[in-house]
Amino acid sequence: MSRPPIQRPDLGGPFPEHLAIVMDGNGRWARRRGLPRVKGHSAGVDSVRTITTSCARMGVASLTLYAFSVENWRRPSAEVQTLMRLLRVFLWRERRTLMENGVRLRCIGRLDDLPPRALRTLRETEELTANNDGMLLRLALSYGSRSEVADALTAAARDVRAGRLDPDSVDEETLRRYLYDPETPDPDLLIRTGGELRLSNFLLWQASYAELYVTDQCWPDFREEQLLEALRDYAGRRRRYGGLLPDETDPATSPQGAS
């Protein structure tokens, strides 16, 4: 579960290998300015570009952005159409930036739910960037963690029925193999913008031991300065994964302290 942390003395300590972000607050950002919600989504695209580029240059190995949830399909059709259009435009316009920064694109979620044009642009961009050797950018689209687990269980059940999987051998690692992207390590740090204190059905399995950081800044206002603040906060955390660190062990009960 735990991996040796990357150390960044310039930030004050450990550095996350995998960073995940719930990009919340676009609508509130727009309302506070008397603008329609779609203007907030448009402004949020600039933050996606800035944060993706900054993370790639800082040495983040994987960045996962919660771009569109399965629940978001219930939003007004005009807003959903705008979000899908912004997705296509972002993928098209940012291909050069992705290539220049060596970023690989991978998307997770129920991607077949996406409109055909958006899905085609997505697949083309994934293919274009597949051989890049820099940061992995994952966009969670039509994504829900409960849906991911349900899909994993469905796939596992099919393999049990076909005789490819022994049900008595199933453990956590078995289930992980059926998740959307089992190869990418779990996130070390999960950032949520917009001030809300919930996970919103995002990476519930993978983020079990992620450090959480919530900022009141809405996503369109979250830029490199705010990112560095979150990274410095993470650098001061001590990750225990349910256990104790060596300096927290009671000498009287530890093997080293036993007489």
Active site residues: 24, 72
Phi-psi region of 13 (alpha: psi -120 to 50; beta: other; left: phi over 0): left
Neighbours of 185 (CB within 10 A): 12
Rounded Cα distance between 128 and 164, Å, is: 34
Specify whether the CB–CB gap between 23 and 196 falls below 8 A: no
Sheet holding 189-192, edge to edge: 104-108, 136-143, 62-69, 18-22, 189-192, 211-214
Q: Tell me the two tokens of residue 179.
A: 């998740």
Rounded Cα distance between 175 and 14, Å, is: 29
> Count of alpha carbons within 13 Å of 175, Cβ hemisphere only?
11
β 6-8/136-143 pair status = unpaired
Specify whether the CB–CB gap between 178 and 152 falls below 8 A: yes
Rounded Cα distance between 62 and 137, Å, is: 6
